A and B are shown apart, each in its own frame.
Chain A
Amino acid sequence: DTEVTQTPKHLVMGMTNKKSLKCEQHMGHRAMYWYKQKAKKPPELMFVYSYEKLSINESVPSRFSPECPNSSLLNLHLHALQPEDSALYLCASSRNRVNQPQHFGDGTRLSIL
């Protein structure tokens, strides 16, 4: 088990559904990240939050909407997803200082029907 907790572990949704992924950490990290990982590929950065503010958006489609309600929690709201959005969605966190590694959660495996 990791110190970054993601829920749910698995999610199946239709293209018209709205759902949310949740990520929580209690390590006092002030930087949090969303990654998308397709099978047999490395993680691809989607969003970075630093001190609860969005600092990096890697040109992600608007059907993905991140939210950081507080320093421990990170959400990813999903709406009108496409089948190609099926992937493992990983959350990570790190201290907001130099030379601090990112620590990953176990991910949510998302399938779009």
Chain B
Amino acid sequence: EDKVVQSPLSLVVHEGDTVTLNCSYEVTNFRSLLWYKQEKKAPTFLFMLTSSGIEKKSGRLSSILDKKELFSILNITATQTGDSAVYLCAVEAVGWETSGSRLTFGEGTQLTVNP
């Protein structure tokens, strides 16, 4: 059974801090790893990672994947109160190309950024 573990489960920081969120996985036939941000409603897509060692960056957020050690990190620099959310990691396995994709989610990291 595919498994995704995120840590920490909860994190409280002050504005301006840098945070690192972790995601480890055990997946048969790994295809990709995705990060989502969820506030009150829809999970919002952040990154999709398929190759080891290639950093994806969007503004203050960046993420990297290590396929040998089976983990990914999501970094947020100069945090703002608007970064407060649950950050979800999900993995996708090979084999679903013609029938949609099947994501296995981790429990999420609840990030709170205080002013």
Chain A positions within 8 Å of B, measured between CB atoms, are: 2, 4, 31-33, 41-45, 48-50, 55-56, 90, 94, 96-107
Contacts and interface: CB of A to CB of B under 8 A. Distances in A.
A43 B32 CA distance: 18
Interface residues of B, number: 25
Given A43-B88, A104-B44, A107-B42, 4 more contacts: A2-B42, A42-B88, A48-B102, A104-B42
Contacts of B48: 99, 101
Given A103-B45, A106-B41, A42 B101 contact: no
Contacts, number: 67
22 contacts: A31-B99, A31-B101, A32-B100, A42-B88, A42-B107, A42-B108, A48-B100, A50-B98, A56-B96, A56-B100, A90-B43, A97-B97, A99-B31, A99-B32, A99-B48, A101-B48, A102-B101, A102-B103, A103-B45, A104-B36, A104-B45, A107-B42
